[in-house]
Chains A and B, each alone.
Chain A
Amino acid sequence: MSTLFEKIGGEGAVDASVDIFYRKVLSDDSISHFFETTDMEAQHAKQKAFLTMAFGGPNNYSGTDMRTAHAPLVAKGLNESHFNAVAGHLQSTLEELDVPAELIAEVMAIAGSTKEDVLGL
């Protein structure tokens, strides 16, 4: 049986999604300030790591990592509405790439499972 990561298209799918996804996030004035840094390349790599994880791909990220990494953003006011906005951009990215609905649902479930850690709840 193949994994979600294989079914969705593996690293190729991550490569195809990352620019579309990051462009959506940066163009959304309600959340772009959380993603704007002096080092856009590093930020782009982080989005790639995030997508790899959400697509069920190989990663070493733990809940604690997610919590620590997002703590400075939570301190700046990161809340559920921002989380939902990012999730929405993830969903529309996958829809744009014609990913089958049942796979999108699986990706959204993985992304949703990070909510408590991301928001420090």
Chain B
Amino acid sequence: MPKITYQGKEYSTEPDETVLKALRRNGVLVPYSCGAGSCHTCMLHCQKGSVTERSQKDLKPALKSLNYFLACQCTPESDISVALPDDEDVYVSARCVKKEQLSPTVWRFSLETAVPVFYHAGQFVNLKNEAGWIRSYSIASLPAEDSLIELQVRRMPDGQMSHWMIDDFDIGMHIDLEGPNGHCIYTDGRPDMPILMVATGTGLAPLIGILRDALHQKHTGPIYLYHGARTSDEIYLHDDLVAIAKQNDNVHYAGCVSGDDVPEGMQAGRSSDIAMQEHPDLKGFRLFLCGAPPMVRAMRKNAFLAGASMPDISADAFTTPEHLP
């Protein structure tokens, strides 16, 4: 019978026994609720070995490709090693290689890790400095094309970590990095699907990574990217994105300014409002929403009501107090 490894210990399974039953029979109290594959409470991450198709049937494509599965639906066919989704916090050392200012408040950091970190564009990492402050930052780079991990950090009046990063964390210095985390990523398999991306502030960081990933994987369907900020000088990387849209017929980009004084080449209004006005019917769309939690919440609901299927909506709400309006 296959064996299950969990937190370094090996557990036996019985014939036709699910991972959930085997672990609980052995006194390992992983969380669960419905036991029928509906509630997803018992979702685990398979770190080694393979899980059954049935145990991933209902999961988002992103979770599938990251090897998550439902413990109550999986009768293992070979040895597997599993972990709780939030159990995996191992820090590696990362060195700052490049640091540059992108807008009045946003800086770009390029980090090199001591050991390779395997990530998908759009995931996030946790940084811990010497004072022990921990903050999450989305990854803007694409592992297939970039050797460094790129993060974009926005200076926020109340964000002590953002001040420290921008004022004190310089080229050559080291910081602890944990991750990757999150499942806001591009998944292949449906290359002609239309994609709608909406960001506010540094919510742009993961979306740039996902956009480049989609292009790298030869996505053929239209990709619409809306980036919003209050003032036009915070629509950073605008020229780069205009250039990407020019080079790729299927990419459409709009910088959206919600305040007064909208320069030529940008649109007036909030990114989520403009996106919904231009795409009132989202049936069959894949969505990526990143940035301020109120925008992400409202946009998720509006997108769902406009016909998008819930599993096709990926969102990353930046829940630090510094991102509140």
Contacts and interface: CB of A to CB of B under 8 A. Distances in A.
- Do A and B interact? yes
A102 B39 CA distance: 28
Contacts of B304: 19, 22-23, 26, 40
A45 interface: yes
B1 interface: no
A69 to B, nearest CB: 10
Interface of A: 18-19, 22-23, 26-27, 36, 38, 40-41, 44-46, 48-49, 52, 57-61
Given A26-B305, A45-B40, A59 B300 contact: no
A49 B86 CA distance: 24
Contacts of B297: 38, 40
Interface string B30-64: 00011110111000000000000000000000000
A36 B293 CA distance: 15
A41 B310 contact: yes
Nearest to A49: B38
Nearest to A51: B38
B36 A59 contact: yes
Q: Which of the listed residues B34, B40, B301 has the most CB atoms from chain A within 10 Å of its own CB?
A: B34
A38 B225 CA distance: 24
B309 interface: yes
Main secondary structure of the interface of A (DSSP, over half): helix
Contacts of B35: 60
Interface in B261-306: 293, 297, 300-301, 304-305
10 closest A-B pairs (Cβ-Cβ)?
A49-B38, A58-B36, A44-B310, A60-B35, A59-B36, A48-B38, A52-B38, A60-B34, A49-B39, A40-B300
Contacts of B38: 45, 48-49, 52, 59
Contacts of A46: 39
Contacts of A58: 36
A57 B36 CA distance: 9
Nearest to A40: B300
A27 B305 contact: yes
A45 B39 contact: yes
A48 B39 CA distance: 8
B140 to A, nearest CB: 24
A38 B34 CA distance: 22
17 contacts: A18-B310, A19-B304, A19-B310, A22-B310, A23-B304, A23-B305, A26-B301, A36-B301, A38-B293, A38-B297, A46-B39, A57-B36, A58-B36, A59-B34, A59-B36, A59-B38, A60-B36
Contacts of A52: 36, 38
Given A19-B309, A40-B297, 10 more contacts: A18-B310, A19-B310, A22-B304, A40-B300, A41-B310, A45-B40, A46-B39, A52-B36, A58-B36, A60-B35
Determine which residue in B293, B304, B310 has the highest number of CB atoms from chain A within 10 A of its CB, and name it: B310
A18 B311 CA distance: 11
Nearest to B314: A41
A59 B39 CA distance: 10
Nearest to A50: B38
